[in-house]
C-alpha cells in the first residue's frame, strides 16, 4: 500500500524518541518529584478527612483557648461515666448559626458517654420541637435559640438558654453587670444529671395567703431549680396534701391561716415535716394562727425595721444602715459556709426575731444571723424618720433563727425563720453575695439531701496577661513550621541534586 512504509518509519522514530525520553534522568527525577508531591497532597487530604471524622466521634480536637471553654473537667467526666440512661440533646439555633463553643462541648459529652447524643436543629425545619417539650423544673419555653436536654426513660426535660451560660459581676464604675465567667459546663452537666436521676428532692411552696408572687420569687425559684429541686405549689384551702419528705416554704403571708390549715400544718410537723419561713418587716403582726405556728417553735417577731448604728460600719453596706450585712453564726446549717469562707449576705430592710418567753420545753433555738449594734425603728409611733428615737429598742438582734422541735411522735421538726426576703429574690444580691449558697444550704439542711449543685467553677471571661506558660504552645508551633518546610524541601530537591 503506497505510503505505508513512510508511516511505519515515522512511528518507529516516535517510539525511539519516547524511549529516549523515558530513559532520561531529568524525567525520572522530575516525575518522582511530581508523584511525591501529588501523593503528599492526597495523603494530607485523607488525613484531614480522617482527623475530622475521629474528632467528631472521639472529640480529639485540642482546646487551646485561654480558658479551656470547650473542655469538661473531672466532675463532668465522673457524671458522664456513671450515666446509665440515654439523654438526647437538641441544640436549637437560628439560621445565622449557633454557639460554636457550646457545640464543641456537646461533641465532647457525646464522645465521653454512649448515652449522650445531640443534634443541631431549627424551629423552622422542625416546628414540632416547640410543642413537644416543656421544662419539667420551671416555666421555660422552647425558643429559637436554646438547648433541650431530655431523658425519655424519666420523662424529664431541662431547657437551657443563654442566661445559663454566664455569670456576672457588678461594675461599680459603670453601674452595670459585666460578664465575669462562663458556665457552659456547669449548666449542661447539672441538666444531664437532673433529667437522668431516678428521684429528685422536692420543695413545697404554700399559697393562698397573699404570699410573695411567683414573679417576685423568680430569682429564688431559679436558684432552687438550678440545683435540681422540684417545686410544687400547695394550697391547703383547696385540699392539697403536704408531703413530710419535702420542706414547706411560707414566704411572707399577708393573710392568716384558717384553723383547719393550722391543724394540717401541725400534722405535717408531727410527721417530721420542716418549715422555711420568711417574715418581712412590713408584714402584719396580727395574723393569729401564723403567729401561733411561729410561737410553737419558740419564735416571735419584733415590730419595725432593723437599722444598724452608724458606728457599726462593718455591719451594713455602702453607707446605708438599712442594708444589713449580718454576722453568720456557727451552726450545723452554716458551718460548711463558714469553712468555705462564703458568709457574706446582704439584707435590704429586715425584721428582727426573738425567742419567746418561756421557750417551749421541746424546742432548741439557735441564732443563724446576728446584727452588729443596731436599733429597731417602729413606725407605729407615727415618727417615720430613720434616725433612732429615744423609745427605740437597741442592741444586737437575730435576723434568722433555727429551731429543732421534738414531736410527740418522736420525730424532729425543723424550722428556719428569717426576717428578710430580698436576700433570696434580689438579682444583684444573688450575683454579688453568698445568698444563693446560703439558701441552698438552708434547704439542704432541712431536706437532709444534698442538692445538685456541682462544684464546677465558671471559666474566666477575662483574658489573663501573657505568661511563659501561655506562650509555650505558640513558640513550639512557630519553631516547628520552618523545620517542616525545610524537611519538605529536602524531600523534593534531593532527587534533583545530580541533575
How does DSSP assign 145-199, residue by residue? SEEEEEETTTTEEEEE-GGGGEEEEEETTTTEEEEEEE-HHHHHHHHHHHHH-S-
DSSP 330-371: --TTTHHHHHTT-----EESB--EEE-SSPPTTEEEEEEEE-
User: 291-318: b or e for each residue (b if 16 or more CB lie within 10 Å)?
Assistant: bebbebbbbebbebbbbbbeebeebbbe
**d(C-alpha 191, C-alpha 150), whole Å:** 9
pLDDT > 70: what percent of the chain? 77
Please give the pLDDT value at position 28.
55
Q: From CA 403, how far away is CA 481, in angstroms rounded?
A: 69
For residue 248, name the pLDDT band (cuts at 50, 70, 90).
very high
Would you state the cell numbers that stand for residue 59, as one nine-digit string? 472529640
Whole-angstrom distance, CA of residue 62 vs CA of residue 66: 12
Query: In the structure, what pLDDT confidence band is assigned to residue 31 with cuts at 50, 70 and 90?
Result: low
Please give the pLDDT value at position 451: 47
Please tell me the predicted confidence (pLDDT) of residue 148. 93
Cβ–Cβ under 8 Å, residues 223 and 439: yes
**Percentage of the chain modeled with pLDDT above 90:** 48
On the question of pLDDT at 232 being above 80, the answer is yes
- Residue 53: pLDDT band (50, 70, 90) is low
Give the domains, in start order, of the chain with CATH numbers: 62-199 (3.40.30.10), 202-447 (3.40.50)
Q: What per-residue confidence (pLDDT) applies to 186? A: 85
Number of DSSP helices (H) and strands (E) in the chain, helices first: 14, 23
Answering whether pTM is above 0.75, one says: no
pLDDT digits (tens, 9 = 90+) for 370-425: 999 999 998 877 787 888 888 899 999 999 999 999 999 899 999 999 999 999 99
Mean pLDDT computed over every residue of the chain: 83
Residue 440: pLDDT above 50? Answer: yes
* pLDDT computed for residue 83 by the predictor: 92
Model confidence band, residue 299 (pLDDT cutoffs 50, 70, 90): very high
Give the pLDDT band of residue 3 (cuts 50, 70, 90): low
Amino acid at each position: 500500500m503506497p505510503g505505508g512504509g513512510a508511516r511505519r518509519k515515522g512511528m518507529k522514530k516516535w517510539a525511539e524518541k519516547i524511549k529516549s525520553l523515558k530513559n532520561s534522568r531529568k524525567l525520572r527525577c522530575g516525575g518522582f518529584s511530581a508523584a511525591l508531591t501529588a501523593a503528599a497532597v492526597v495523603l494530607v487530604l485523607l488525613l484531614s478527612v480522617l482527623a475530622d471524622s475521629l474528632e467528631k466521634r472521639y472529640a480529639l480536637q485540642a482546646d487551646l483557648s485561654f480558658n479551656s471553654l470547650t473542655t469538661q473537667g473531672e466532675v463532668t467526666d465522673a457524671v458522664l461515666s456513671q450515666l446509665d440512661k440515654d439523654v438526647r440533646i437538641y441544640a436549637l439555633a437560628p439560621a445565622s448559626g449557633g454557639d460554636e463553643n457550646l457545640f464543641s462541648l456537646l461533641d465532647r459529652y457525646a464522645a465521653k458517654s454512649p448515652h449522650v447524643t445531640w443534634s443541631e436543629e431549627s424551629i423552622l425545619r422542625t416546628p414540632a420541637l416547640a410543642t413537644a417539650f416543656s421544662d419539667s423544673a420551671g416555666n421555660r419555653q422552647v425558643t429559637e435559640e436554646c438547648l433541650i436536654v431530655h431523658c425519655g426513660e424519666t420523662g424529664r426535660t431541662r431547657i437551657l438558654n443563654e442566661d445559663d451560660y454566664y455569670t456576672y459581676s457588678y461594675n461599680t464604675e459603670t453601674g452595670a453587670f459585666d460578664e465575669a465567667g462562663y458556665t457552659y459546663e456547669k449548666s449542661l452537666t447539672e441538666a444531664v444529671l437532673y433529667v437522668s436521676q431516678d428521684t429528685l428532692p422536692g420543695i413545697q411552696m404554700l399559697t393562698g395567703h397573699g404570699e410573695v408572687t411567683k414573679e417576685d420569687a423568680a430569682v429564688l425559684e431559679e436558684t432552687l431549680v438550678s440545683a435540681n429541686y422540684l417545686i410544687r405549689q400547695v394550697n391547703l384551702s383547696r385540699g392539697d396534701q403536704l408531703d413530710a419528705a419535702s420542706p414547706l416554704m411560707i414566704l411572707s403571708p399577708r393573710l392568716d391561716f384558717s384553723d383547719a390549715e393550722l391543724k394540717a400544718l401541725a400534722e405535717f410537723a408531727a410527721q417530721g415535716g420542716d418549715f422555711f419561713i420568711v417574715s418581712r418587716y412590713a408584714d402584719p403582726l396580727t395574723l393569729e394562727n401564723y403567729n401561733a405556728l411561729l410561737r410553737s417553735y419558740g419564735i416571735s417577731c419584733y415590730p419595725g425595721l432593723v437599722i444598724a448604728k452608724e458606728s457599726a460600719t462593718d455591719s451594713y453596706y455602702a453607707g446605708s444602715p438599712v442594708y444589713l450585712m449580718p454576722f453568720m453564726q456557727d451552726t450545723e446549717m452554716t458551718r460548711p459556709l463558714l469553712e468555705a469562707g462564703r458568709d457574706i449576705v446582704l439584707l435590704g430592710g429586715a425584721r428582727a426575731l426573738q425567742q419567746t418567753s418561756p421557750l417551749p420545753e421541746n424546742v432548741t433555738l439557735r441564732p443563724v444571723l446576728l446584727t452588729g449594734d443596731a436599733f429597731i425603728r417602729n413606725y407605729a409611733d407615727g415618727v417615720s424618720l430613720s434616725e433612732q428615737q429615744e423609745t427605740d429598742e437597741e442592741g444586737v438582734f437575730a435576723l434568722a433563727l433555727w429551731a429543732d422541735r421534738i414531736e410527740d411522735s418522736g420525730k424532729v421538726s425543723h424550722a428556719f425563720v428569717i426576717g428578710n426576703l430580698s436576700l433570696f429574690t434580689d438579682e444583684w444580691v444573688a450575683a454579688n453575695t453568698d445568698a444563693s449558697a446560703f439558701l441552698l444550704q438552708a434547704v439542704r439542711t432541712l431536706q437532709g439531701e444534698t442538692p445538685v449543685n456541682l462544684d464546677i467553677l465558671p471559666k474566666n471571661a477575662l483574658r489573663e496577661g501573657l505568661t511563659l506558660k501561655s506562650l509555650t504552645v505558640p513558640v513550639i508551633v512557630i519553631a516547628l513550621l520552618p523545620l517542616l518546610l525545610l524537611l519538605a524541601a529536602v524531600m523534593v530537591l534531593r532527587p534533583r541534586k545530580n541533575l
